[in-house]
Structure formats: structure tokens, C-alpha cells
Chains A and B, each alone.
Chain A
Amino acid sequence: MINLKQVFLRGVLQDNPVLILMIGLCSVLAVSVTTVNAIGMTVAYSFVLIGSELTISAIRNVIPKTLRIPIFIIAIGTFTTIIQLIVKAYSPSLDKSLGIFIPLIVVNCIIIGRVEAFSSKNTVLASLVDSLGMSIGYGIVIISIAFIRELLGSGTIFGFSVYPPFIKPMLIFVLPPGAFFIIGIEIAILSAINKRLAKSKG
């Protein structure tokens, strides 16, 4: 029996998909211009990850081994198309700002990686916990980057201006270089935390 708490925490800390495994970076950097966009992306992403992990773990015993990758891709692609149509129908403005990054969830290496490495071998419950952990790990990273970029770059929090009028925000942080810079710093911070955790465990 695997330890569910450990599975969950692994997604957030030791195996954080974005900052430690270095996968799924594209959407994190591109979408994190405003916090609202980042939350929207997290919801879309979690829907696809949880949906495909549950589906694959439920049918894991009937998937032929040689055909597994195409089956994974079809499952992930189906959930991506569902969320793409939902966002387009109910929130056209979010659809416009996330743009091409919603269909690109399908090639997000985290999802196919987790499906292949975890849910094709584990029970539905364990897959649910794993996908929740991975979604939260992804969400924390993208929302924190977006929060910092929005605050420094446009001087707003959730779209409300917080700077006094005589301070000009640093525009560079909403432009691409700012995204690269902040993710670099965040990777350094998380690996420092992980090193300390590993040391305190012995």
C-alpha cells in the first residue's frame, strides 16, 4: 500500500512538476502575465490532468501494452478539447488571453508523464491523490509567478492598482524577460528548501 500523503506532497515539493522536473514550462511562463489568467490556466490544466489520470487508472487493466501511448494521447486530447470548448463558450475573454495554450495542454509533458509513470500502474484513488498533488504543485508555481509579475510589472493585484501614482511599475516584468528571471529565482528557492528538508531528515 502506498502512502497517500507522501504521494500528494511529492507533487507539491520534491517532484514539483515545473520547478524540479522542468516540464510544462511553456504555459507557466506564457500565461503568467496576470493572476486571473494564471488561475484560469490552473483550472483548465487540473481538469485535464485529473480527468485523464482517473480515466487511465480505471481502464489500466484492459489497455494493451503496445498501444498505450496512442490511447493516453486520445484520452488527454479528449479532455483538452472538452475544456477548450467550455472555456470558449463561457468565458471568451479568458479564451482570448490564454489563446493557443489551452490546446497545447495536450502536449504538456507533465500529463503524459504522470499517466505513463503513475496512473497506468496504480489504483483510481491513488491516481486521484497524485493528480491533485501535481495540479496544486503546478497551480502554486504559476499563480505565484503571475502574482509577482503583475505586482512588479503593472503595479496591480487582481487588476486593482496598488501603487501610489508617483511610482512607475517596472514594465520589464510583464514582458518575456521578466518571466524567465522570476522562474529562475523560484527554482533556486525551491531547490534550497528541498535541500534543507533532505538534510533535516538525515
Chain B
Amino acid sequence: MEFLQQTFTVLINSIFAQNFVFIRFLALCSFVGMTTSMDNSIGMGGAVTFVTVMASVISYALYYFILVPLKLEYLQTITFILTIAVFVQLVEIYLKKAVPTLYRAMGIYLPLIATNCMILAVTLLNITEQYSLMIAIVFSVGASIGYTLALILLAGIRIKMKYITIPKFLQGYPIIFITASFIAIAFLGLQGIAR
């Protein structure tokens, strides 16, 4: 029962109350870069979800079975980023060979993922928050859902933005950030649900 309760709290927290894009300010590069269309943001969200969950399992195992016994905890940043980069490469090679249709759908997003700071942040937070493996998986799933939600929200608004007149001073990126600011206000309102 306690486990269920913790799972639920972590999940809700990572999706809404501590949303990775609007509250924690992570993965903003892809947030402004990839939300030009709905397809892009859904594709990116799917690819990130897959890589985040796998990367947090792998890095969790590496940390507790290799770095801790050897007393090399200070190498965690380098180890994790190399793990993520290698993992993304392997997924790309495997998909290209085995599932070409999925590769065509996800392929262009994969190289961008290696430098997505959300993935490294999730793997590092799993360690600093001392989550158990199950909770770490729940946390990474929640984080990716929150990220995908943020992308879809912004993409939806950007599609509508084509039909309105924007002040000349704010055209382009500025209006996107101001839109994000208003979405963030909405997310602040959700802070109370998980305490």
C-alpha cells in the first residue's frame, strides 16, 4: 500500500507539480525547436520516453553495481553521459536494421536526444533522490509524460498562432517564450495537488 502511494505521488509530481519543462526548466532546446508541428512533438515525445526509461535503468545498474563498489562515484557525470550517447547510437543502428518503418518515424529525433538535458537530469536525480529501481522507472516515465505533454501543449498553440497577428517586436521566438510563460502559470496552479 505504501509502495502504491509513493508510486502515485512520484508520478503525479513528475508530470504536473514538478513538470520538467515548465517548472524545472529542462529540455528547453527541443521544447522550442521541435514544436513546429504536432507530428514532430509526438515523435520527439515518444523517442524521449523510450530513451529516458532505458537510460535510467542502465545508469542505475552501472552506478550501484560498478561505480559504488569501486568507489568511483565522482565519475557519475561522465559515465552517464557516455552511456546515454552510446545507448542512443545503438538504438539508432538497431532500428535502422531491424525496424526500418519505426526508424523512419523516429530516426531524425534520435541524434538530438543524446544532448537532451532532461535524460541526464533524470538519471542524476534518480541517484541524488535515492530512489529504488521501481520508483526510478516510475519517475522516468512520469518525467517523459510531462515532457511530451508540454511539447503537445505548445505545438497546439503554435499551430493556431499562424492565424493571428503578432506585434512585430515579438514575432518569432519571443512570442513562444511569452506563451510558455502563460502555460507555466497554469502549471503553477497545479502545484498544490501533490504535497
Interface residues of A (CB under 8 A from B): 22-26, 29-30, 69-70, 73-74, 77-78, 80-81, 84-85, 100, 103-104, 106-109, 112, 172, 175-181, 183-185, 187-188, 191-192
Contacts and interface: CB of A to CB of B under 8 A. Distances in A.
B180 A180 contact: yes
Contact of A106 (B28, B75, B81): B81
Interface string B61-103: 0000000000000111110011001000000000000000000
**Which of B117, B169, B184 has the most A CB atoms < 10 Å from its CB?**
B117
A25 B29 contact: yes
Contact of A74 (B25, B33, B78, B178): B78
A184 B167 CA distance: 13
A32 B181 CA distance: 15
B78 A107 contact: no
Contacts of A100: 121, 124-125, 128
Contact of B115 (A112, A175, A176): A112
A104 B117 contact: yes
Given A177-B182, A180-B181, A181-B178, A25 B32 contact: yes
Interface of B: 22-29, 32-33, 74-78, 81-82, 85, 115-117, 120-121, 124-125, 128, 169-170, 172-178, 180-182, 184-185, 187-188
A184 B179 CA distance: 9
Given A30-B25, A184-B176, A191-B174, 12 more contacts: A22-B32, A30-B26, A69-B85, A104-B120, A107-B117, A112-B115, A178-B181, A183-B177, A184-B177, A184-B178, A184-B180, A187-B173
A185 B28 contact: no
Contacts of A175: 184, 188
A187 B174 contact: yes
Contacts of A73: 78, 81-82, 85
B121 A104 contact: yes
A27 to B, nearest CB: 8
Contacts of A172: 185
A79 to B, nearest CB: 10
Main secondary structure of the interface of A (DSSP, over half): helix
A185 B177 CA distance: 9
Contact of B117 (A84, A108, A191): A108
| Interchain residue pairs A-B with the least CB separation, the first 5 | A184-B177, A180-B181, A77-B78, A30-B25, A188-B174
A109 B29 contact: yes
A81 B188 contact: no
A181 to B, nearest CB: 4
A181 B181 contact: yes
Nearest to B185: A177
A184 B174 contact: yes
